[in-house]
Amino acid sequence: MLHPIPPKRDGDLLQIIDNALAETARKSGEWLVCRKGCTQCCVGVFAINQLDAARLKEGMAELGIHNPKKAAAVRNRAHNSVKRLSPHFPGNTKTGILASDEEAEERFLDFANDEPCPALSPETGECELYAHRPMTCRVFGPPVRTGEDGALGVCELCYHGATPEEIAACEMHPDLDDIESGLNHEVEKNTGVRGNTIVAFCLAK
């Protein structure tokens, strides 16, 4: 099955993100408790861009070659997730693209917050597509500025006992040059598919 291929520079972007995370982890020490099997951030849907989608599909293609049984299980979970989510999906259920109007964005805030990610193994608590996971997954946990107000957010399980100043000193700066936006535009141009989707729709195809 043909699938969109992430731009070559996506590897450079991921290396930048990994380096930023490593530096933040060094500064954070025991405050950053993210570990294999901790799945709180794997429950609840979130928007992914077309660069994320291309990376996930590449991961599925590789998984299908190296472990067809595991890939089939991921796809089956994705199909079941799509069935559950479609009746109230704030977007196009045929394409999986989220609507971008204000009403749809507001609906998305309370949409499927208890839905587990299809890539999450219910048996092991591991991400079956970890090396190809979306950008949101890669930066969740450490202190990262999000939203229009640039508030510094962290996972609620991390940084217990740290002061606001200590948390700020551990801030992660994932993509200062905004390489991701350019690469996402490139994927959208090459595929003709524009807009955000969610993991379930991406993996069900």
- The pLDDT tens digits of the residues spanning 23-68 come to 999 999 999 999 888 898 999 999 999 999 999 999 999 999 999 9
Give a yes or no: residue 30 inside a domain.
Answer: no
Task: Indicate whether 9 belongs to any domain.
Answer: no
Convert 4-23 to b/e letters by CB count within 10 Å (16 or more is b). Answer: bebbeebeebbebbeebbee
Q: Provide the domain limits for residue 89.
A: 36-204
- Number of domains forming the structure of the chain: 1
Task: Give the amino acid at 103.
Answer: E
Is 153 a domain residue?
Answer: yes
Residue 2 clears pLDDT 70, i.e. is over it: no
**Contact call for residues 155 and 41 (beta carbons, < 8 A):** yes
Please give the average per-residue pLDDT across 116-142, as a whole number. Answer: 95
Query: Is residue 22 assigned to a domain?
Result: no
Tell whether 186 is covered by a domain.
yes
Report if residue 26 sits inside a domain. Answer: no
Judge whether 20 lies within some domain.
Answer: no
67 domain residue, yes or no: yes
